[in-house]
Amino acid sequence: MRVGAMRAGALLPRLLPWLVRVLLVLSVLASLAAAGLFGFFGYLIVGAYSGGSSPTNIAPVLFPIAFLLLIGVVIPAVLVCVLLWLASGR
């Protein structure tokens, strides 16, 4: 039983650098996703402001959609990004 514990203890130092690299890659991908989502939020806001006054225009709908996107998707994505950066230790 003690030999198995020693093997598991020897395995951890070899796996730790790989885990750090995986977390770093995930944090970079999460950062790119959060930046893209924030850009799409800005695109929706700009579209809502430049809609004009046509009654058939969908511009008034873009404000609620944009803020629902901000609250439901962008902010959680940024929080995941922050947590991944903290976990990667860089």
d(CA 33, CA 27): 10
Delimit the domains of the chain by residue range: 2-88
Q: How many Å apart are CA 45 and CA 38, to the nearest integer?
A: 11
pLDDT digits (tens, 9 = 90+) for 49-86: 886 666 667 788 888 999 999 999 999 999 998 998 88
Block residue for tokens 């020693």 = 6
How much is the pLDDT for 90?
61
Distance CA 25, CA 57 (A): 42
> Residue 18: is its pLDDT beyond 80?
yes
